[in-house]
Chains A and B, each alone.
Chain A
Amino acid sequence: MTMPIYVQGAWFFGAALFIFGLKGMSSPASARKGIIIAGYGMLLAIAATFLIPGLQNLGLMALALALGGSAAWISGKKVKMTDMPQMVAIYNGMGGGAAAAIAAIEFAKGDSHSMAVTVLAVIGALIGAISFTGSCVAWAKLQGVLKKAYRLPAQNAVNVVLALVAIALGGAMVLMAPATPELIFAFFAVALILGLIVTLPIGGADMPVVISLFNAFTGLAVGFEGYVLGNPALIIAGIVVGAAGTLLTQLMAKAMNRPISNILFTPMVASGPGEAISGSMKELSALDAAAMMRYASKVIIVPGYGMAVAHAQHKVWEMTSILEEAGIEVKFAIHPVAGRMPGHMNVLLAEAGVPYDKIFDLEEINGEFAQADVALIIGANDVVNPSARTDKSSPIYGMPILNADMAQNVIVIKRGKGTGYSGVENALFYTDNCRMLYGDAQPMAGEIIQHLKAMG
């Protein structure tokens, strides 16, 4: 189908706005403008598509746009910031599903294409379908609908066999084009099942990396289907996202010290408790904690997902403001994987009103702990465990951590004596300069605020 020049031109302009918008999103100051610009690009591209001459099923099309768009718009407006990762996962899965469905119609029509086009259509369909069902599983796990990691006996062998079957069926579709309906059906069934089976055994802690990987998958699928449709706007948007998503996935996997192959093919196991830790955990009261910070000159706060679960962000920010008014320098240190996806903690702090120029990355702040009088750790555990630096037998050895142990004093607000997500004991809690404040983060922060106010 040849497109009129005004449709082509609008798509071209839309693609330019996408790249321009994505570029804007690379800095906090211009990020919001960036997404709005990209939003206009999307509206333009969709509006232009309606102008294609001879387009059929317009009523169905408008209905589908209205249904899908409004359902997602409403759910997106309502979702809590803590639940953001699974929401991103499900929207992404839908994009993958759409790309796979485009390929399905293309195959069903049975138009003759060059072999290269058919190959790309098959690859796009395969990764789009995997992204669709895989993202649904990721959503279900993070949402708590699926609570367990389901691991088949010989899981890796099953994965490999299924993947080979999917590739064989895809190969048959290329060689025997146009494919029979039975073959098309079998191919999509296997691809969809493959997405399910691969994702089911992956644990919740690894899910953010998987979501990012599926985001890259959907991007590539969209790019490939764009090639099949001869639509450069889809190619550009899809491949830009595919490349960006691949890089983001690598950055995340590195921050978690887990190679991607490891996440996909081996479960996270506590490979032994690591070296025995000597010493004991020492408690302190909220009053002592307040006093320690009130008479400090520099405090670094290390928030973890536990803080977000306890909804303590607002209290923590209130406490920070009181300390700052008393002339104490307060900074937030964020580990790359704090929260349920990289940068998630920044979003949660931003929601509480913490300005982003108070929030620092691991590389930026690690040198500063030595000058801090107090490191206050709230609901974080593994990301401050010094065993990651020193104990070669520890399962988390080698993971980059925040050097909170180098501060003069460490205060840990923690619900109980349990271990973190990895199941590893935290050597930090047993060091001489560390004090434990047991309790829920929100009431504890509230108590500290009361004491701080009393101190004036």
Chain B
Amino acid sequence: MDGLLALYIFMLAAFTGYEIIAKVPVILHTPLMSGSNFIHGVVVVGAMIMLGSADTPVQQAIGFFAVALGAANAAGGYVVTERMLAMFKKKED
């Protein structure tokens, strides 16, 4: 990818992250930390690409490890976040 273009993506993504969190009430900080933890679980996609092009046993082993860890990050992050958020209720619900 064009290096400068990636730099622009970095900048805009950083502002987006900052803006989204800056307005979040304290009561949501724990689910939010776990929710953002879930989102970086997308690393599993990168791990799959690497494992998909691994051609020595060592690379395959590391790739396997990477995919398993990434999948755990995504699945675990999702489950605990959803469980926490499901409990937040308004009075009349």
- State the A residues within 8 Å of B (CB): 1, 11, 14, 18-19, 21-23, 25-29, 31-32, 34-36, 38-39, 42, 45-46, 49-50, 52, 54-58, 60-61, 63-73, 75-77, 79, 81, 84-85, 87-88, 90-92, 94-95, 97-99, 101-102, 104-106, 108-109, 114, 116, 211-212, 215, 218-219, 222-223, 225-227, 229-245, 247-248, 251-252, 334, 336, 339, 341-344, 346-347, 350-351, 353, 355-359, 361-362
Contact = CB atoms under 8 A, between A and B. Distances in A.
Contact of A84 (B21, B44, B80): B80
A57 B82 contact: no
Given A26-B28, A72-B76, A102-B43, A247 B91 contact: no
B45 A343 contact: no
Contacts of A116: 3
Nearest to B18: A243
Interface in B35-55: 35-55
Nearest to A238: B40
Contacts of B80: 76, 79, 84, 87-88, 91
B27 to A, nearest CB: 4
Interface in B3-54: 3, 6, 9-10, 13-18, 20-54
A84 B30 contact: yes
A22 B32 CA distance: 8
A60 B46 contact: no
Given A99-B43, A361-B25, A106 B50 contact: yes
Given A84-B34, A105-B63, A231-B49, 10 more contacts: A49-B49, A60-B67, A72-B76, A84-B30, A244-B18, A248-B36, A342-B29, A343-B31, A343-B32, A346-B88
Given A98-B47, A101-B62, A241 B36 contact: yes
A42 B66 contact: no
A353 B89 CA distance: 8
Nearest to B47: A98
A60 to B, nearest CB: 5
A18 B33 CA distance: 14
B49 A73 contact: no
A245 B10 CA distance: 15
Output the residue of B36, B51, B60, B89 with the most chain A CB within 10 A.
B36
Contacts, number: 388
B10 A223 contact: yes
A229 B62 CA distance: 16
Contact of A76 (B21, B50, B67, B76): B76
B48 A49 contact: yes
A73 to B, nearest CB: 5
Contact of B41 (A32, A50, A84, A95): A95
Nearest to B73: A95
Nearest 10 pairs of A and B residues by beta carbon: A243-B17, A76-B79, A72-B76, A343-B29, A68-B68, A68-B71, A101-B66, A95-B73, A55-B52, A239-B13
Interface of B: 1, 3, 6, 9-10, 13-18, 20-56, 58-60, 62-91, 93
Contact of A233 (B15, B45, B83, B93): B45
6 contacts: A19-B16, A90-B76, A92-B73, A94-B72, A116-B3, A248-B29
Contact of A25 (B31, B68, B89, B93): B31
Contact of A98 (B10, B27, B69, B77): B69
Contacts of B31: 25, 31, 35, 343, 347
Output the residue of A22, A76, A101, A339 with the most chain B CB within 10 A.
A101
A247 B13 contact: no
A56 B45 contact: no
B33 A356 contact: no
A229 B51 CA distance: 13
Nearest to A109: B59
Contacts of B89: 350, 353, 355-356
Contacts of A223: 10, 13
A240 B20 contact: yes
Given A234-B42, A235-B9, A240-B20, A73 B79 contact: yes
